[in-house]
Amino acid sequence: MTYDFYDHVKIHVKAGKGGDGCIGFHREKYISHGGPDGGDGGNGGNVVFKIDPNSNTLLFFKQKRIFKAENGKNGGTDKFHGANGEDCVILVPEGTVIKDVETGKVIKDMSGCEPFVIAKGGKGGWGNKHFATPTRQAPNFAKTGLEGEEKDLYLELKMLADVGFVGMPSVGKSTLLSVISAARPKIAAYHFTTLFPMLGVVSVSDDEGFIAADIPGLIEGASEGLGLGFDFLRHVDRCRLLVHVIDVAKTEGRNPLDDFKTINEELKKYSPALASRPQIIVGNKLDAVEDPSELDEYKKFAKDNGYEIYFISAATKEGIKELTYGIWNRLKTLPPIETYESEQEETQKAPLVPTDITLEKRGDIWFVEGNWLKRLMTGINFSDWESLSYFDHMLRENGVMNKMRELGIQDGDTVSIYGLQFDFVD
C-alpha cells in the first residue's frame, strides 16, 4: 500500500569538484618574460540542507534521489580565479533527521536550526603562479581541484509535536483533534480512515498552546509491521506526552482496558523509551455510555496505575475544555521536545599526507599506491622536466622515498605509481 505521506527515504549527495588551476604565462607587447600567471580554480559548491516551513512530508524525494552541487570553474590566464560552484540547497520539513546510511548514526536533526552543510565542495587547484621560484621561473604545471564530499544519506521525518494521540482504530482520535484544533483530518466510521499523521495547533490562550499529532490507529502486532501504526510510530518519538484514547462506550465490542494494555505493549516493543513517556487516558464517546457506573472501572484502573483520566465526548464536545487545560498543565511540568544530537564525532578533515601508502609486488614490479600520491600526480606534467623535478622533490620532502625503502624497495627495483614507471634510486 502506498501513501501520499512520505516520511523516510534514502538519497545520495555529492558536493562539487574544485576547478583546476591554470597553466598560463603573461603575454604582452614589449614584455618578453611576463612570467607565470595561471589563476586558481574555484571551489566546488556545497550540499546544504535547509528547513522548509511550508512542507510536512518528504514526498518530493520520491522522484528525486540524487543531488549534486556545481563544480568550481577552472582558473584562467592573467591570474584569473575560477568562479566557485553554486551550492545545492535541499529543502526538508522541520523535524527531518539526517542519518549516515553506512553507520546508521545521526548526522543532524533539522529542528529549529540554521542551514546545515552536509557535504563540502572540493577546494580549487592552484595555478602555476604559485609554483614560481628563483630557480623555477616558468613552471609548466598546476594542481587539479579536489573532489567534493560524497555521501549516502537516510532522511527520516519525525514530527515536532508536544502531544501524540494513540489508541486503537475508530476510538475517535481524529475527531478529538478536529475539535481541539483547526486541523481537519478525514473522519469516517471505518478502520484506518487516517492514513498518515495529522498535526494540529491547540490554543489555550492568545499566546499559549501546544501541537498535537493524531497517529493512525494501532493494532496488536503494529510493532511487527501489522496495520498502519508501525509506519508512523516514529512520529511519536519526540512527543512529551501521550494521550491514550479509549472507547468507553465499547462500540467495537472490545474491552477498552484490554485495548489500552495491548497498545502499550506494542509501544514497548517498538521503543521502551517511548512506552515510558507520561500518558493521560481519555475515555471518549461518553455520550454513548448508558450507565455512568460503568466508568468506575476505568477510574479505578487509572488510580491504581498512576494515570490521570478524562471522560469526554468528541462528538458533543463534553469535557473538551477540561481535557485541553489538563494536557496543557501536564506539559508545563515536562521537558521540552526532544531533539537528536549528532552521533558522529566532531573531527576536522585531516589534510592529505603520505601516510596511506600501500605496496604490492607483482612479478618484478613494485606497485605503489595511496590517496596522497594520486592527488599529487594529478598536478604533474610528466612531459616537462621542471614538473618532474617538483614531483621528485615532493616525494623526498614528504618522506615517501624513505617509506618505500622501509617497505622493501631497493635501488634498481622497478616502481610503478599509477602508470608511471621508473627505477628506484634513493
User: What is the CATH code of the structural domain delimited by 163-331?
Assistant: 3.40.50.300
Q: Looking at residue 193, what is its pLDDT? A: 41
| Ranges of each domain in the chain | 1-157, 163-331, 358-423
CA 327 – CA 308 distance, rounded (Å): 10
Q: Looking at residue 282, what is its pLDDT? A: 97
CA 274 – CA 238 distance, rounded (Å): 9
339 within 8 A of 112, measured Cβ to Cβ: yes
CA 368 – CA 359 distance, rounded (Å): 5
CA 227 – CA 192 distance, rounded (Å): 8
Whole-prediction pTM: 0.71
pLDDT mean values, one per 10 residues, the chain (426 residues): 64 96 81 80 96 86 94 91 96 94 93 94 89 80 88 91 87 88 54 57 85 71 46 76 94 91 86 88 94 93 96 94 95 87 64 71 88 80 78 85 86 87 82
CATH architecture of 358-423: 2-Layer Sandwich (3.30)
23 within 8 A of 132, measured Cβ to Cβ: no
Q: Looking at residue 231, what is its pLDDT? A: 60
Cell representation of residue 381 = 606534467
CA 233 – CA 268 distance, rounded (Å): 11
Q: Looking at residue 130, what is its pLDDT? A: 82
Give per-residue burial for 232-258: e unless 16+ CB within 10 Å, then b. bbbbbbbbbbbbbbbbbbeeeeeebee
Pick the CATH number of 1-157 from 3.40.190.10, 3.40.50.880, 2.40.50.140, 2.70.210.12: 2.70.210.12
Helix, strand, coil abundance in the chain, percent, nearest 5 = 25, 25, 50
Cell representation of residue 314 = 468528541
